[in-house]
Amino acid sequence: MTGGWDWAYAVEILPALWRGLQVTLLATLLGSLLAFGLGLVFAVVQRNRVAVLHRVVWAFVQFWRSTPLLVQAYVIYQVLPDVGITLGSLAAGVLALGLHYACYTSEVYRAGIEAVPPGQWEAAAALSLPRSRVWLAVVLPQAVPRVLPALGNYVISMFKEVPLLLAIGLVEVVTVARQLSAESFRPVEPLTLAGILFLLISYPASVVVRRLERRTGAR
Amino acid sequence: MPAEPMIVFEGVHKRFGDSVVLSDLDLAVDPGEHVTLIGPSGSGKTTILRLLMCLERVDAGTIRVGGRYLSHMHRRGELVPADEKHSRDVRRRIGMVFQQFNLFPNMSVLGNLIEAPTRVLGLSRAEATERAAELLDMVGLAEKIDEHPARLSGGQQQRVAIARALAMRPDVLLLDEITSALDPELVAGVLRLLRRIGDTTDITILCVTHEIGFARDFSDRVLMLDGGRVIEDGPPDQLLREPRQPRTKEFLAAVLEGR
Ligand SMILES: Nc1ncnc2c1ncn2[C@@H]1O[C@H](COP(=O)(O)OP(=O)(O)O)[C@@H](O)[C@H]1O
Ligand SMILES: [Mg+2]
């Protein structure tokens, strides 16, 4: 292995790494959307009066939170086909990320919902608003903005965990970097660049989240 | 036979854990009547209003509003505790204004006023907006229609909350110490508005207040609550000036002392 940083090689592999990064970003985006949606459903169900549903969701969230993402990804990718559900790497990865993070976002939403004063529920009830409007027009518009920074932090953590999905064959940026280093026997450039790409995205993202935190905190 | 009262409590019991808040409470309010509830803190005044709002359930006894059971419903000839749909249906005739206003901070004043009329009464947005504008005009806040509640004073918020309740065209209006959270200089405006509503509508009003002067000229009848029961019931001039019960006397003395 030759020492030193090879600029020419670095430039040459950049397009391949960029394509890998796009997959990483896509998985993060879809995983976040799933986690946001599902987490919200979990949180709302847990406020519901249907006790059975409430307990089922609670138990699932507790169980799923205490097992590693990697195991969950394996189960979704390799065990689900046995029951007739075969998913590609990306779909399985997104599902794994979404389910895993939904268990965290549901707690975030729950805290946000609990922070809405009881008087708001009572005013909505006094106006006989239907339950759907109580949630959509009164409670969630007050609860969600307050928890956006916390949700944003989970998006950033998710982004950094996408490389785990190489275990189920998702060709994202770190996988690309590993393949490149295996082909060229030069691990320094691909892995360094992959790391830098992560930094270039997650650092500005965390600045945005911190700014959001200050704004919602100031309200 | 006289017309059925607008509000009837019969033998109502309400407990929170071990503490009995209302015990065997009977109470009737006629249509269009203005009744003020007074009584020491913790005597169950708010609980009475919350029961009417279906925010609490009776442990025993029944509540009727406008001749229909609120707390119960008929099912296969039997009287069973009301389900949510039934309660919501009967409760639609009742409006409530809270001590803490409870306007929806995520909506404009207009949004607060048209949400329920459009979603519950099925008015079109245009109809609801027209009605909201009329009501805001009546409460003297026409120019605040697009403002957000947070930018209004407490007195203004409370007037919007009154308009919001009226927008549902209620037969019954419940007012729970609605001037208690206001700065003293804002109280008069809200009370003036209530007097006007009392004079110009035939809404039945059940009101909890410590404003004894207001209670005297606004109410047709005053009920003194103590120990989960109505211990004195009379016209304001008698009850507030020459109470018969020693407890009422003590309570009024304490309230006037606090001024
Ligand atoms: N949700 C509740 N849980 C437990 N106790 C309650 C609840 N609501 C009211 N109480 C109790 O019931 C009693 C009557 O309360 P309330 O009706 O608010 O009295 P008032 O409005 O006359 O001051 C009080 O002792 C209060 O602490
Ligand atoms: Mg009270």
DSSP state of A137: I
Query: CB–CB of A126 and B165 under 8 A?
Result: yes
Contacts of residue B127, Cβ cutoff 8 Å, sequence gap at least 6: B117
B215 vs B234: CA distance, rounded Å = 12
* Cβ pair A57, A46 in contact under 8 A: yes
* Cβ pair A17, A201 in contact under 8 A: no
What is chain B's pLDDT, residue by residue, as a tens digit (259 residues)?
A: 567 899 999 999 999 999 999 999 999 999 999 999 999 999 999 999 999 999 999 999 999 999 899 988 888 888 898 888 888 888 999 999 999 999 999 999 999 999 999 999 999 999 999 999 999 999 999 999 999 999 999 999 999 999 999 999 999 999 999 999 999 889 999 999 999 999 999 999 999 999 999 999 999 999 999 988 999 999 999 999 999 999 999 999 998 887 6
What CATH class does A7-217 carry?
Answer: mainly alpha
**Angle formed by the axes of helices A140-161 and A7-46, nearest 10°:** 140
Closest CA to B216 of B191, B182, B186: B191
State which residues have CB under 5 angstroms from ligand 2, the bound ion: B 46
B70 vs B89: CA distance, rounded Å = 9
Query: CB–CB of A137 and B103 under 8 A?
Result: no
Residue B125 contacts A, CB cutoff 8 Å: no
Helix (H) / strand (E) containing B214: helix B212-218
Structure tokens at B174: 């419940």
Full-model pTM: 0.90
Residue A93 CA, ligand 2 centroid: distance in Å? 54
Extents of the domains making up chain A: 7-217
φ/ψ (deg, to 5) at B149: -50, -40
